[in-house]
A and B are shown apart, each in its own frame.
Chain A
Amino acid sequence: MKAAIVHFPGTNRERDMAIALRQASGQRPQMVWHRETELPLGLDLVVLPGGFSYGDYLRCGAMAAQSPVMGAVRDFAAKGGHVLGVCNGFQMLTEAGLLPGALLRNASLRFLAMDCTMKVERADTAYTRHFQPGQRFKATMAHGDGNYFADDATIERLEGENRVVFRYDDENLNGSRNAIAGICSENGRVLGLMPHPENCVDPIVGGEDGLPLFLSLAESFAEAG
């Protein structure tokens, strides 16, 4: 698997993501600086990691969506590339228009840093083939703005097209519509989710509940060569 992690000023989970990708695939992802206007050639996957890009100033992910590298990420996605956005990365994907909807302030108006349980709604994507449909798994959430919102028509369309990939299972703590934790693009290749599966890939640290996501990617792209 050839993966790249985009590093924005204020990104802070790029090392966590690199560890998870490497653990599952055995390959070290490349780091791409936000000022780059082109991505490395031959990538299987681009990851927009968690953090506080540009300090979350203006709006979470809003400035990252306008940064030089995002043009290249858009082109990559348009050509059918796989793009994973986690937490702040999910916020960037909605701000960049690569995924519909928006992430609002948590309903409690407080930062939420705790484990949550997610349910896998689709196990047929490159990200989820190592999960069983309906499987429940634990991940860490750490965000102030994870309250997924979209208008009725968009929600209806997402549900109708089976584009909700992960849903909060036990408690919908941030107030997301339809308890949505993660959604994908029409072609299933751009995925955004709020919780951090990359912090759950090691029995000593946070458990291994998130590992299937990375094993799925490793397997998908090992086949692709």
Chain B
Amino acid sequence: MTALPLLDPARAAQLAAEFGLKPDEYERALGILGRTPTLTELGVFSVMWSEHCSYKSSRVWLRELPTKAPWVLVGPGENAGVIAIGEGLAAVFKMESHNHPSFIEPYNGAATGVGGILRDVFTMGARPIANLNALRFGDPALPRTRQILDGVVRGIGGYGNCVGVPTVGGEVNFHPAYNGNPLVNAMTVGILRADRIFTAAATGVGNPVVYVGSKTGRDGIHGATMSSTEFSADSEEKRPTVQIGDPFAEKLLIEACLELMATDAIVAIQDMGAAGLTSSSVEMAGKGGMGIELELDSVPQRETGMTAYEMMLSESQERMLMVLKPGREALAESIFRKWELDFAVIGRLTDTGRIVIRHKGVTEADILLAPLESEAPLYRRPTEETPKQPPLGEVADPVGLLPALEKLVASPDLCSRRWIWDQYDAQVGGQTSKRPGQADAAVVRVEESVDAGGRLAVALTTDTTPRYCQADPEEGGKQAVAEAWRNITATGALPRAITDNMNFGNPEKPRIMGQFAAAVRGMAAACIALDFPVVSGNVSLYNETEGRAILPTPAIGGVGVLEDVAKAVGLALPPSCDLVLVGETVGHLGQSLWLREIAGREEGPPPPVDLAAERRNGDFVRGEILSGRVRACHDCADGGLLVTVAEMAMASGVGATLDAQGDHRFWFGEDQARYVLAVENGSALLAAAEGAGVPARRLGRSCGGDLVVPGAGAISVAKLAAANEATLPALMQGV
């Protein structure tokens, strides 16, 4: 063996600590190596064993999630999950966080978040057809919150619009708990033929390892490590570790990869995401049970004088690593040259089971791969249950129904998100059937199906209610999954699978780890009850600033399938329809937005989720929609029943005269498993519901331009809409 440039033992131990390795983790690395590491090796261990790459605190809990179903083609563990959607086609999807970078540099943090998740999806061989996001920001009254919101929205739009993938949906919440830790979770959905899925497992001794895409620079070094620690007051000094995105390069990379994937040249492919060349090479060789040798002199470099350590740790964007079949280099190179991208053979697969990295004639690293994964740290950290919230008791109505409604629809968590979506191209691709504001889930037609004379579409949504999760993580976890399922159902689509993005605080604190474990428990119960398995996901921990954690935020990205896109319904209320409520109303005000915005209290248990009722009510509603009898449908969520009806009315400008009697608990309680349907014949729907054993009741009839509530008077829909539309533009004026 050539002499490795080993570090001095004392210096190595000190650097290991600086790179975030705990003392016992460093000891374990020494055991695997049987000697002191080189700088490059220490870098490899520290990023591969970072929370971000190793899931060391979360893995033991994530195993509880159901991941299988007959339609699941690829579950967690690959770049993204894959489900069969019919007609020989499959949907590929995943959601991933870019929280820490988005706080430090909102535009590039969010932009590269979109770029990263796009690569995870087209790496599998899919053309990306839709982007979604789930965003949480701090107190909207703070100027810093508005700057972050502005930068994040510009970044998501700047990247997504340029690559030509429509941004079709998302959600936004505000809460002071996110002041120092905004959450930016980006989701991409792609479509491929079910028999053309590409994976990362490398095979074939001697096969060339090829680098394609943009050049490697010094940006993002140790990004994965940064994402695995809490923030402190000096976090903004970490700006140099945020990567810069180039959506133009990504667009070229998408087209070049898809063109190459149409040939038979590729054995395995993996994008260079967190921990760049390190994780992509380790994962490709590791999954295939191979060894890998890299010659870093061949890596296309943007800067001069880069060291092996810097190249292995760089998180420069828009890069891919692939293993080709022997003799296919020229074909692949011609495609990448056509798209004006870098192409370089940087190594070979071996049968040694080791990763060997050479640079300028020196062996900079030589590590046995199997123990790097099998002996990676795995923690069952102590957990502490979140105490149950005491019952809320009676809460009087301080303002009356209509003043409360007007205030609620203008509140930051319920106001129109038009200011945001108006900056996202939702139509590029020409297949977006229901875009933001038109339905509970985005509906995107599948171009490949249309080409074959079909009408297949996917329904997409992102959901979670962090205030419920804070009050009761298990019930909140259930609710997040149930709401995604409900939003897909409300369009008429069949919910099929989810991706999860688990955003939590510091897992070394038992209360936080307890939140995580309980949320997973709740999610697992809902996934099982609703036949809605998890096929991919991402974990973001250490979302704390100066010891203050975010609300537990298990963001759920849901995907459903609609055989006939023409059957999808939206939420806009048509005139001359009966309004029918499906589902039972108890009047649960605990953790409701009414309680927070009108009574000024964030208290009580969140609404309980009855999964059997969710399933029964949702299956009934979907059946009614597919029968063609439903003109509009909207699920009851944040704000409760009256807000649901008001949102339907604001979407069309059509009013309604309600005849159901109820107080603030009835109209603003956030009971689950409920939908409001607009139908031409309410009696027939009520009879069908009774026959199916589903609770349903008439609410009123759509007509005119006012919303009339018994005992409370009338309010014009135009006035409500004006209040609903005014909030975000006013907030963002001058930012």
Chain A residues in the interface with B (C-beta under 8 A): 9-10, 12-13, 15-16, 19-20, 50-52, 54-57, 110-114, 140, 142, 144, 196, 198-199, 201-202, 204-206
With contacts A113-B161, A196-B427, A205-B432 taken as known, whether A10 is within 8 angstroms of B248 at the C-beta atoms is yes
User: In the bound complex, do residue A110 and residue B164 qualify as a contact, i.e. CB atoms below 8 Å apart?
Assistant: no
Specify which chain B residues have a CB less than 8 angstroms from the CB of A19 in the assembled complex: 430
With contacts A112-B422, A113-B426 taken as known, whether A205 is within 8 angstroms of B431 at the C-beta atoms is yes
State in angstroms the CA–CA spacing of A116 and B653 once bound together.
Answer: 18
Contact of A54 among B158, B163, B248 (CB under 8 A): B248
User: In the bound complex, do residue B248 and residue A15 qualify as a contact, i.e. CB atoms below 8 Å apart?
Assistant: no
State in angstroms the CA–CA spacing of A110 and B161 once bound together.
Answer: 12
Query: What are 18 sample pairs from A and B whose C-beta atoms fall under 8 A apart?
Result: A9-B248, A10-B162, A12-B164, A16-B429, A50-B428, A55-B251, A110-B154, A113-B421, A113-B422, A113-B423, A114-B422, A142-B428, A198-B430, A199-B430, A201-B430, A204-B433, A205-B432, A205-B445
With contacts A57-B248, A204-B445 taken as known, whether A12 is within 8 angstroms of B428 at the C-beta atoms is yes
User: In the bound complex, do residue B566 and residue A113 qualify as a contact, i.e. CB atoms below 8 Å apart?
Assistant: no
User: In the bound complex, do residue B423 and residue A110 qualify as a contact, i.e. CB atoms below 8 Å apart?
Assistant: yes
State in angstroms the CA–CA spacing of A56 and B248 once bound together.
Answer: 8
Specify which chain B residues have a CB less than 8 angstroms from the CB of A201 in the assembled complex: 430
B107 touches A (CB below 8 Å): no
With contacts A9-B339, A12-B428 taken as known, whether A205 is within 8 angstroms of B433 at the C-beta atoms is yes
Among B428, B430, B445, residue most surrounded by chain A Cβ atoms (within 10 Å): B430
Contact of B428 among A13, A56, A202 (CB under 8 A): A13
B95-126, CB under 8 A of A: which get 1 and which 0? 00000000000000000000000000000000
B483 touches A (CB below 8 Å): no
Distance between B545 CB and nearest chain A CB, rounded to angstroms: 29
User: In the bound complex, do residue B447 and residue A15 qualify as a contact, i.e. CB atoms below 8 Å apart?
Assistant: yes
Specify which chain B residues have a CB less than 8 angstroms from the CB of A50 in the assembled complex: 428
With contacts A19-B430, A114-B422 taken as known, whether A142 is within 8 angstroms of B252 at the C-beta atoms is no
State in angstroms the CA–CA spacing of A113 and B165 once bound together.
Answer: 13
B425 touches A (CB below 8 Å): yes
With contacts A9-B339, A12-B163 taken as known, whether A55 is within 8 angstroms of B427 at the C-beta atoms is no
- With both beta carbons as reference points, the residue of chain B lying nearest to A140 in the complex is identified as B427
Specify which chain B residues have a CB less than 8 angstroms from the CB of A9 in the assembled complex: 248, 251-252, 339-340
Besides the known contacts A196-B427, A205-B445, 6 further A-B residue pairs in the complex with CB atoms under 8 A apart: A9-B251, A10-B162, A55-B251, A111-B157, A111-B161, A113-B423
Distance between A29 CB and nearest chain B CB, rounded to angstroms: 14
- With both beta carbons as reference points, the residue of chain B lying nearest to A52 in the complex is identified as B162
- With both beta carbons as reference points, the residue of chain B lying nearest to A33 in the complex is identified as B338
State in angstroms the CA–CA spacing of A52 and B565 once bound together.
Answer: 30
User: In the bound complex, do residue B432 and residue A55 qualify as a contact, i.e. CB atoms below 8 Å apart?
Assistant: no
Specify which chain A residues have a CB less than 8 angstroms from the CB of B339 in the assembled complex: 9
Contact of B430 among A51, A54, A114, A205 (CB under 8 A): A205
Distance between A7 CB and nearest chain B CB, rounded to angstroms: 9
State in angstroms the CA–CA spacing of A51 and B255 once bound together.
Answer: 14
- With both beta carbons as reference points, the residue of chain A lying nearest to B422 in the complex is identified as A114
Specify which chain B residues have a CB less than 8 angstroms from the CB of A140 in the assembled complex: 427
User: In the bound complex, do residue B427 and residue A199 qualify as a contact, i.e. CB atoms below 8 Å apart?
Assistant: yes
State in angstroms the CA–CA spacing of A16 and B251 once bound together.
Answer: 16
With contacts A55-B246, A198-B430, A204-B433 taken as known, whether A13 is within 8 angstroms of B164 at the C-beta atoms is yes
Specify which chain A residues have a CB less than 8 angstroms from the CB of B426 in the assembled complex: 113
Segment 145-159 of B: residues with Cβ below 8 Å from A: 154, 157-158
State in angstroms the CA–CA spacing of A57 and B432 once bound together.
Answer: 28
Q: Secondary structure at chain A's binding surface: helix, strand, loop or mixed?
A: mixed
- With both beta carbons as reference points, the residue of chain A lying nearest to B161 in the complex is identified as A111
Specify which chain A residues have a CB less than 8 angstroms from the CB of B249 in the assembled complex: 55
User: In the bound complex, do residue A204 and residue B565 qualify as a contact, i.e. CB atoms below 8 Å apart?
Assistant: yes
> Top 6 nearest A-B pairs by Cβ distance?
A12-B164, A55-B248, A16-B430, A142-B425, A52-B162, A113-B425
Among B154, B162, B340, B432, residue most surrounded by chain A Cβ atoms (within 10 Å): B162
Distance between B337 CB and nearest chain A CB, rounded to angstroms: 11
B473 touches A (CB below 8 Å): no
State in angstroms the CA–CA spacing of A199 and B433 once bound together.
Answer: 11
Segment 377-426 of B: residues with Cβ below 8 Å from A: 421-426
User: In the bound complex, do residue A113 and residue B427 qualify as a contact, i.e. CB atoms below 8 Å apart?
Assistant: yes
Distance between B343 CB and nearest chain A CB, rounded to angstroms: 15
State in angstroms the CA–CA spacing of A14 and B39 once bound together.
Answer: 48
Specify which chain A residues have a CB less than 8 angstroms from the CB of B455 in the assembled complex: 204
State in angstroms the CA–CA spacing of A52 and B158 once bound together.
Answer: 11
Specify which chain B residues have a CB less than 8 angstroms from the CB of A13 in the assembled complex: 164, 428, 430
Among A19, A57, A204, residue most surrounded by chain B Cβ atoms (within 10 Å): A204
Segment 452-480 of B: residues with Cβ below 8 Å from A: 455
- With both beta carbons as reference points, the residue of chain A lying nearest to B158 in the complex is identified as A111
Distance between B154 CB and nearest chain A CB, rounded to angstroms: 8
B570 touches A (CB below 8 Å): no
Distance between B159 CB and nearest chain A CB, rounded to angstroms: 11
- With both beta carbons as reference points, the residue of chain A lying nearest to B566 in the complex is identified as A204
- With both beta carbons as reference points, the residue of chain B lying nearest to A112 in the complex is identified as B422
- With both beta carbons as reference points, the residue of chain A lying nearest to B167 in the complex is identified as A113
Specify which chain B residues have a CB less than 8 angstroms from the CB of A196 in the assembled complex: 427
State in angstroms the CA–CA spacing of A196 and B430 once bound together.
Answer: 10
Specify which chain B residues have a CB less than 8 angstroms from the CB of A144 in the assembled complex: 161
B169 touches A (CB below 8 Å): no
B247 touches A (CB below 8 Å): yes
State in angstroms the CA–CA spacing of A186 and B203 once bound together.
Answer: 62
Distance between A76 CB and nearest chain B CB, rounded to angstroms: 24
State in angstroms the CA–CA spacing of A19 and B158 once bound together.
Answer: 25
Contact of A55 among B162, B424, B433 (CB under 8 A): B162
Distance between B106 CB and nearest chain A CB, rounded to angstroms: 15
State in angstroms the CA–CA spacing of A53 and B101 once bound together.
Answer: 28
B546-589, CB under 8 A of A: which get 1 and which 0? 00000000000000000001100000000000000000000000
State in angstroms the CA–CA spacing of A20 and B431 once bound together.
Answer: 12
Specify which chain B residues have a CB less than 8 angstroms from the CB of A206 in the assembled complex: 427, 430, 432
Among B161, B340, B425, B431, residue most surrounded by chain A Cβ atoms (within 10 Å): B425
User: In the bound complex, do residue B251 and residue A142 qualify as a contact, i.e. CB atoms below 8 Å apart?
Assistant: no
User: In the bound complex, do residue B430 and residue A52 qualify as a contact, i.e. CB atoms below 8 Å apart?
Assistant: no
Among A10, A56, A57, A113, residue most surrounded by chain B Cβ atoms (within 10 Å): A113
Distance between A51 CB and nearest chain B CB, rounded to angstroms: 6
State in angstroms the CA–CA spacing of A56 and B565 once bound together.
Answer: 34
State in angstroms the CA–CA spacing of A10 and B455 once bound together.
Answer: 29
B305-336, CB under 8 A of A: which get 1 and which 0? 00000000000000000000000000000000
- With both beta carbons as reference points, the residue of chain B lying nearest to A14 in the complex is identified as B164
Distance between A36 CB and nearest chain B CB, rounded to angstroms: 12
B243-287, CB under 8 A of A: which get 1 and which 0? 000111101100000000000000000000000000000000000
User: In the bound complex, do residue B162 and residue A16 qualify as a contact, i.e. CB atoms below 8 Å apart?
Assistant: no
Contact of A56 among B162, B164, B421, B432 (CB under 8 A): B162
Specify which chain A residues have a CB less than 8 angstroms from the CB of B447 in the assembled complex: 15
Distance between A62 CB and nearest chain B CB, rounded to angstroms: 14
Contact of A142 among B246, B247, B427, B433 (CB under 8 A): B427
Specify which chain B residues have a CB less than 8 angstroms from the CB of A199 in the assembled complex: 427-428, 430
Contact of B247 among A20, A52, A110 (CB under 8 A): A52
Specify which chain A residues have a CB less than 8 angstroms from the CB of B340 in the assembled complex: 9
State in angstroms the CA–CA spacing of A13 and B251 once bound together.
Answer: 12
Specify which chain B residues have a CB less than 8 angstroms from the CB of A204 in the assembled complex: 433, 445, 455, 565-566
Distance between A109 CB and nearest chain B CB, rounded to angstroms: 10
State in angstroms the CA–CA spacing of A40 and B457 once bound together.
Answer: 36
State in angstroms the CA–CA spacing of A16 and B427 once bound together.
Answer: 10
Distance between B611 CB and nearest chain A CB, rounded to angstroms: 33
State in angstroms the CA–CA spacing of A195 and B157 once bound together.
Answer: 18
User: In the bound complex, do residue A111 and residue B433 qualify as a contact, i.e. CB atoms below 8 Å apart?
Assistant: no
Distance between B153 CB and nearest chain A CB, rounded to angstroms: 9
Specify which chain B residues have a CB less than 8 angstroms from the CB of A56 in the assembled complex: 162, 248
State in angstroms the CA–CA spacing of A97 and B455 once bound together.
Answer: 42
Distance between B254 CB and nearest chain A CB, rounded to angstroms: 10
Among B157, B246, B428, residue most surrounded by chain A Cβ atoms (within 10 Å): B428
Specify which chain A residues have a CB less than 8 angstroms from the CB of B154 in the assembled complex: 110-111
Specify which chain B residues have a CB less than 8 angstroms from the CB of A112 in the assembled complex: 422-423
